[in-house]
Amino acid sequence: MTTEKSPQPGRPVMTAREAARLLRKDPRTIQRMIEDGELDGGAHQGPQRRRWFVYADQFNRSSAEITPAAHVADDVAAERDRLLLENADLRAELVSTQEAYRLVLASQATMHEALTDYQRSVDELLAGTTAFRDAAAHFQAAVSGLQSSNSKLNQVAGAYSDALHQGLIPGHAGTLGNASPNL
C-alpha cells in the first residue's frame, strides 16, 4: 500500500492516535504500519507537521476491537449524557441555592423586625423604670411630708394635752409654787 496524502471521500477515518489506542500500540508504530502498508491510511500536511490518519473500516467489528468512529460516537454520547446530568445537578443546586437565599432574606427581614420590636420594648422598659423612679421619688417626698406632719401633729397634741392638764388643776397655776400651808 502507498501512503495517501488525503483521505478517500466517504471512507471513515480516524487519527493515528485513535488507532494506536484501539490496537494498544504506540502512535509511531501505527505510522510505521501505514508506511509499511500493513494499515490503509496516510498523512496530510498540517500547519506545523503531518497529520496521520487510518481508515476505520479495516478493523473487525466482531472481535473485541471496536471501530473508533463507533467508539468516538459512544464516547461523545456518554460525555453528552454525563454533561446533561451534571447540568441538571447544577441547575438543581442553583435553584436550591436561590431558594436558600430567599429564605435567608426573609429570615433577615423577620429578624430585623424582631430586633426593632425588642428595641422598642427595651425603650419602654427604660421609660417605665424612669417613671417608677420618679414615682418612688414622689412617694418618698410624700412619706417625708407625712413624717413632718406627724411630728407637727404630735407637738400640737402635746400642747393640747398640756393645756388640758392646766385646766384640771385647781387654782391658779401661779399659786402652785406659793402654796400656803393654811389651807
The whole-number pLDDT of residue 68 equals 44
24 φ/ψ sector (left φ>0, alpha ψ -120 to 50, else beta): left
Q: Is 178 helix (H, G, I), strand (E, B) or coil?
A: coil
The whole-number pLDDT of residue 64 equals 41
Q: How many helices (H) and strands (E) does the chain have?
A: 3, 3
pTM of the model: 0.35
E strand map for the chain: 13-15, 41-45, 50-55
Concatenating the DSSP letter of every residue in 26-43 gives -HHHHHHHHHTTSS-EEE
pLDDT in tens, 117-172: 899 988 998 899 888 898 899 889 988 988 988 888 899 888 888 878 776 766 65
**Residue 32 grid cell:** 510505521
More confident residue, 79 or 22: 22
| Euclidean distance between the first and the last CA atom of the chain, given in angstroms as a whole number | 180
